[in-house]
Chains A and B, each alone.
Chain A
Amino acid sequence: MDDLLREFLTESGEHLDTVDAELVRFEQDPNNETILRNIFRLVHTIKGTCGFLGLPRLEALAHAAETLMGRFRDGLPATSASVTLILLTLDRLKEILADLEATGTEPAGSDDDLISALERMAEGTVEAEPAAAPEPVLPEPVARELKPGEVSLDELEAAFLAAPGPDEADQAAPPVAAAPVAPAAAPVVSEVARVEAAEPARAEKADGIEGEAAATGEASAASKNQTIRVSVETLEHLMTMVSELVLTRNQLLEIARRHEDSSYKVPLQRLSHVTAELQDGVMKTRMQPIGNAWQKLPRVVRDLSAELGKQIDLVMVGAETELDRQVLEVIKDPLTHMVRNSADHGLESTAERIAAGKPARGTIRLAAYHEGGTITIEIADDGKGLNLAAIRQKAVQRGLASQADVDRMTDAQVAKFIFDAGFSTAAAVTSVSGRGVGMDVVKTNIETIGGLIDIATTAGRGTTFTIKIPLTLAIVAALIVRAGEHRFALPQVAVLELVRVDAGAQRVERINGAPVLRLRERLLPIVSLTGLLGQSEAGAETEQAGFVVVAQVGRERFGILVDEVFHTEEIVVKPMSVKLRHIPMFAGNTILGDGAVVLIVDPNGVARQVAQGVQGSGGHVEADDDAANEVADSKTTLLVFKGGQGSFKAVPLSLVTRLEEIECAKVEWLGGRALIQYRGRLMPLVPADPAIAIKSEGTQALVVFSDGERAMGLVVDEIVDIVEERLDIEIAADRSDLIGSAVLRGRATDIINIAHFLPLAYDDWARGLKRPERLSTILLVDDSDFFRDMLSPVLKAAGYQVVTASSADTALAALHADPQIEVVVTDLEMPGRSGFDLVAAMRRAEPRIAGLPVIGLTGAIGADAVERARSLAIADLVAKFDRAGLIAALTEIGAGTVSKAA
């Protein structure tokens, strides 16, 4: 493809886009001569150039469109049908241009349908049958992307307006509709400095078209020097080189900092200054007004309003706001999508609007403005607002959150569900939207460029989306931190503040192993960077002192624990290698002033990880946190709550399934029993103390226990704390609802016996959860700390004393040492000597040990395991996670041994 053709394609694309937008304006303001002149001129230029380049199809189409527009100028009213027809013609032109770009030749085909329609319209005969016009073909609008890196269209437009209009030519040329009413339209082409590009203008003159060519020629000469076309690659290369320069400058500054010798400090400072300015300048060349991304929107909205039968005004504010073209490219499609969404979902139908007492015309307002290093874009509609109830319902339906979670969420949090993939509450899928694809893509696109998206919605008043995006992607301010042995860069945009933590007043506390920080009376979830990156070995110790970087992504606030914070530095973001791009934690890497490569932590990736940690509940945290468990080996984690007359009660946390807060209004009473609909089932509520009455209003705290499919809500006054203490239970008086009492955090606390409450909820839940007549000592053998920790409190809660061993050998030693042991519960699959080996060894030992009953814990109960168990006289095999099964088996054995002892 030769340069001339390429130039033509780029320009025609721009012109067509402008005509698109201008036509929509013209339709609303049919008396505006300036707009019409502008459109006319642009189409004419395209026609002239096509003729010159020998593109007959394009020329014929442009000619027909021009003819019709000539008639407008002569006073033919611009009807919606005729504008639609011209828009269709433009689409066809774009289609042909796209083909031309792909193949280098004009595609074969006939445009007689459009041309004859245009001609008929121009003759004025079609006015009687306007419906026929848009029928013939509805080509999909060809999305022809603007070539990036070009002069702003605003400038072009300004140049057009500045140039002498064709009015003068008008007076001269006879207004014969059939002949090309051709004013001199040279400035459009010759705007660009390329000499070839000016040729079509000459061609026009050669065509014998009269006009004030000389006058316009002068005007264009003036504008010629103002802009030049530079290929994107050249700019990109320049940008890369400047980035390198910035790096080198940083390195020099670093060296200068270390050396006291000040002789080169001054030139260095000068260099630094120049570099900064150069960087600024180059960045500016990459800047384009956001209006470029909005250009297609008026047309989109016009088509939508016709399609949806709604009257929509599109207001655009701040189109001149500039941002990096790379960023512009990324947000272009999301913006279009969001405007479509606003038109389709956001705005009500005209009838509904009138019924609601609103103006019949809906408004979509696009606004863009700079705000401290970022650009804020708002897309607001004055429609009905998001249907939060429907979103809540849908979120539960799709299993994104539980009913209780959803009920507790703020409206803003609920609104965010629309960013989930496949989420749509639209009752009907229209051709425009409602398929539930899109908003997730929008969010992903915006997040990839380090942007944030937010929603504010008011029922009946409309919805506003706010997008915050960085001005540029190439250079960001970042906080340099140290975690473990290495330094990392954290983008400054996500950082709210830094908090120093130590073992004193500001310290990191833990809830069930999950670290949190009290920050101005609020709990902030903490993640340690070393932990996130899988480098944490020392575990708890490293958290004693360090810094918490308080970060915010979307509405999620969290703290990133690092060991040291250095300084803020402007870093040049370099993309991650393709081999490493799958790691969600990193957004890229950079070279610091001292020449070291550091990784840039992606706050979005961290946020996702934090959220996962929270959702994955205890299991995930504990699995990651073996070290902490080691320390807490002999301790039990207890949930402390207030229950009845202000007394403190506690229950082992491992027995608790969930903590809930419900609205009292949702409590239902059936046959004198309180029930609540919980996760699609009825859950009985049982007060933790006879003194507790279920409240009738406000919210009620619940501790939920579940076993398989059944769940029970223990009604408590208030959930107080989670403590980790050595559980020294003093046996209580004869109250079956208590196991005993213990001192927790200096307070006497009753440890409740869940076994008492479960039968109150379900009569048949008694299964084995009865307290044995007297306490037996159990030896629990499991190589996994996790299982030992999980099972000991269960067993203790069931009223046993527990001795633990982590291997067959220590178990045997314990058996010999402790004659109190009456039952052995052992994991059968252990590294080294397995549980079977242990039992075999026991059976060979002295009679006291040989005769002990054994319960085997196993991951999978297979036939051969059962066989071996039987041969070793293992009393029962229980699946590892079956807590209730284990208790039942123990109770059975307990009854046996007790009777034997008696």
Chain B
Amino acid sequence: MQVANANSNETGTTDDFVTVFVGETLFGLAIERVHDVFVPSGVTPVPLAPAEIVGLLNLRGRVVTAMSLRRRLGLPDAEDEADGSKANPKMAIGLEQAGETFALVVDGVGEVLKLGADSREAVPINLDPRFRNLATCVHRLDGRLLVILDVDALLGFTPAGAKAA
């Protein structure tokens, strides 16, 4: 953070976000929470697991629980590619919570953005509640919007509640 501020010429404090996208929507995750960006492979599905959980995968010798951002947001799984090949999870973000590592499976990962308070907006109230509960704020970017996700809320679903989904 110190370094980020020093490099920034803006007057207000800025935060760094890793951007990811799901479909057409751009999401941001606080960079402090992001431990890894990797291509998920060899995901072992967990039968009887909550729908959000894609499965388990081996990330450098650690077992990581992979969770689909699409399913977490209540979006349908990515459609199969136009050429007929099956849609594979393309990228995953390694997040940590309470000593446990999770992999957030997304459609793609973009650049890291440094954003100040000037472009920040509150979450619009007309958003789908699933989005609203997971988002902390929205940033206005050139030509598109960036929804900042709350990592703790993202990982904070309870097994019982998820089971019903």
A599 to B63, CA, bound (A): 11
B47 close to A535 (CB less than 8 A):
yes
User: By the criterion of a CB under 8 Å from any partner CB, how many residues of chain B are at the interface?
Assistant: 25
B35 at the interface (CB under 8 A from A): no
Nearest-Cβ distance from residue B46 to partner chain A, whole angstroms: 6
Which residues of chain B are within 8 angstroms of A534 by Cβ–Cβ distance?
A: 47-48
A363 at the interface (CB under 8 A from B): no
A589 to B45, CA, bound (A): 12
Which residues of chain B are within 8 angstroms of A486 by Cβ–Cβ distance?
A: 44-45
A421 to B131, CA, bound (A): 43
Residues 50-83 (chain B) with a chain A CB within 8 angstroms: 50, 53, 55-58, 61, 63, 65, 67
- From known contacts A247-B61, A589-B63, A591-B63, infer whether A578 and B46 are also in contact, taking CB-CB under 8 Å: no
- From known contacts A577-B100, A583-B49, infer whether A597 and B44 are also in contact, taking CB-CB under 8 Å: yes
Which among A248, A586, A590, A596 is the interface contact of B46 at CB below 8 angstroms?
Answer: A586
Nearest-Cβ distance from residue A592 to partner chain B, whole angstroms: 9
Nearest-Cβ distance from residue B61 to partner chain A, whole angstroms: 5
A638 at the interface (CB under 8 A from B): no
A237 at the interface (CB under 8 A from B): no
- From known contacts A577-B65, A583-B49, A598-B44, infer whether A591 and B163 are also in contact, taking CB-CB under 8 Å: no
Chain A residue with minimal CB distance to B59? Answer: A597
Which among A244, A247, A579, A596 is the interface contact of B44 at CB below 8 angstroms?
Answer: A596
Which residues of chain A are within 8 angstroms of B65 by Cβ–Cβ distance?
A: 577, 579-580
Chain B residue with minimal CB distance to A578? Answer: B100
Which among B48, B58, B160 is the interface contact of A597 at CB below 8 angstroms?
Answer: B58
A585 at the interface (CB under 8 A from B): yes
Which among A578, A581, A595 is the interface contact of B58 at CB below 8 angstroms?
Answer: A595
Which among B56, B102, B157 is the interface contact of A589 at CB below 8 angstroms?
Answer: B56
Which residues of chain B are within 8 angstroms of A577 by Cβ–Cβ distance?
A: 56, 65, 100, 102
User: By the criterion of a CB under 8 Å from any partner CB, how many residues of chain A are at the interface?
Assistant: 25
B56 close to A597 (CB less than 8 A):
yes
Tally of contacts, chain A with chain B, CB under 8 A: 67
A467 to B79, CA, bound (A): 53
Chain B residue with minimal CB distance to A574? Answer: B63
A591 to B47, CA, bound (A): 17
Which residues of chain B are within 8 angstroms of A306 by Cβ–Cβ distance?
A: none
Chain A residue with minimal CB distance to B45? Answer: A486
B127 at the interface (CB under 8 A from A): no
Which residues of chain A are within 8 angstroms of B102 by Cβ–Cβ distance?
A: 577
A534 to B48, CA, bound (A): 7
A583 close to B46 (CB less than 8 A):
yes
Which residues of chain A are within 8 angstroms of B56 by Cβ–Cβ distance?
A: 577, 589, 597, 599
B58 close to A596 (CB less than 8 A):
yes
A178 at the interface (CB under 8 A from B): no
B42 close to A595 (CB less than 8 A):
yes
Residues 564-621 (chain A) with a chain B CB within 8 angstroms: 574, 577-583, 585-586, 589-591, 595-599
Which residues of chain A are within 8 angstroms of B49 by Cβ–Cβ distance?
A: 579-580, 583
B159 close to A579 (CB less than 8 A):
yes
Which residues of chain B are within 8 angstroms of A586 by Cβ–Cβ distance?
A: 46
- From known contacts A534-B47, A583-B49, infer whether A597 and B63 are also in contact, taking CB-CB under 8 Å: yes
Which residues of chain B are within 8 angstroms of A598 by Cβ–Cβ distance?
A: 44
Nearest-Cβ distance from residue A251 to partner chain B, whole angstroms: 9
B6 at the interface (CB under 8 A from A): no
B159 close to A582 (CB less than 8 A):
yes
Which residues of chain A are within 8 angstroms of B44 by Cβ–Cβ distance?
A: 486, 589, 596-599
B61 close to A591 (CB less than 8 A):
yes
B162 close to A579 (CB less than 8 A):
yes
A578 close to B98 (CB less than 8 A):
yes
Which residues of chain B are within 8 angstroms of A533 by Cβ–Cβ distance?
A: 47-48
The 8 A CB mask of A486-517 against B (1 = contact, 0 = none) is: 10000000000000000000000000000000
A581 to B160, CA, bound (A): 11
Which residues of chain B are within 8 angstroms of A248 by Cβ–Cβ distance?
A: 61
B57 close to A579 (CB less than 8 A):
no
Which residues of chain A are within 8 angstroms of B55 by Cβ–Cβ distance?
A: 597
A582 close to B163 (CB less than 8 A):
yes
B58 close to A582 (CB less than 8 A):
no
Nearest-Cβ distance from residue A662 to partner chain B, whole angstroms: 40
Chain B residue with minimal CB distance to A594? Answer: B42
Chain B residue with minimal CB distance to A590? Answer: B63
B157 close to A579 (CB less than 8 A):
yes
Which residues of chain A are within 8 angstroms of B50 by Cβ–Cβ distance?
A: 579-580
Which residues of chain B are within 8 angstroms of A579 by Cβ–Cβ distance?
A: 49-50, 53, 65, 67, 157, 159, 162
Nearest-Cβ distance from residue B47 to partner chain A, whole angstroms: 4
A579 to B53, CA, bound (A): 8
Nearest-Cβ distance from residue B89 to partner chain A, whole angstroms: 15
Which residues of chain B are within 8 angstroms of A596 by Cβ–Cβ distance?
A: 42, 44, 58
Chain B residue with minimal CB distance to A591? Answer: B58
A585 close to B48 (CB less than 8 A):
yes
Which among A574, A580, A585 is the interface contact of B159 at CB below 8 angstroms?
Answer: A580
Which residues of chain B are within 8 angstroms of A595 by Cβ–Cβ distance?
A: 42, 58
A585 to B49, CA, bound (A): 10
A140 to B56, CA, bound (A): 47
The 8 A CB mask of B102-126 against A (1 = contact, 0 = none) is: 1000000000000000000000000
A578 to B47, CA, bound (A): 15
B58 close to A583 (CB less than 8 A):
no
Chain B residue with minimal CB distance to A581? Answer: B159
Nearest-Cβ distance from residue B27 to partner chain A, whole angstroms: 20
Which residues of chain A are within 8 angstroms of B45 by Cβ–Cβ distance?
A: 486
Which among A244, A582, A583 is the interface contact of B61 at CB below 8 angstroms?
Answer: A244
Nearest-Cβ distance from residue B158 to partner chain A, whole angstroms: 8
Nearest-Cβ distance from residue A578 to partner chain B, whole angstroms: 6
A583 close to B63 (CB less than 8 A):
no
A597 to B63, CA, bound (A): 7
A608 to B46, CA, bound (A): 19
Which among B42, B53, B58, B61 is the interface contact of A580 at CB below 8 angstroms?
Answer: B53
Which residues of chain A are within 8 angstroms of B48 by Cβ–Cβ distance?
A: 533-534, 583, 585
Nearest-Cβ distance from residue A580 to partner chain B, whole angstroms: 6
A533 to B63, CA, bound (A): 21
A574 to B62, CA, bound (A): 9
The 8 A CB mask of A237-263 against B (1 = contact, 0 = none) is: 000000010011000000000000000
Can you name 29 A-B residue pairings with CB atoms under 8 Å? A244-B61, A486-B44, A486-B45, A533-B47, A533-B48, A535-B47, A574-B63, A577-B56, A577-B65, A578-B98, A578-B100, A579-B67, A579-B159, A580-B49, A580-B50, A580-B53, A580-B159, A582-B160, A586-B46, A590-B63, A591-B58, A591-B63, A595-B58, A596-B42, A596-B44, A597-B56, A597-B57, A599-B44, A599-B56
Interface residues of A (CB under 8 A from B): 244, 247-248, 486, 533-535, 574, 577-583, 585-586, 589-591, 595-599
Q: Which 3 A-B residue pairings sit nearest by Cβ, starting from the closest?
A: A533-B47, A577-B65, A582-B159
- Having A533-B47, A580-B49, one finds 4 other A-B pairs with CB under 8 Å, namely A247-B61, A591-B61, A597-B55, A599-B44
Interface residues of B (CB under 8 A from A): 42, 44-50, 53, 55-58, 61, 63, 65, 67, 98, 100, 102, 157, 159-160, 162-163
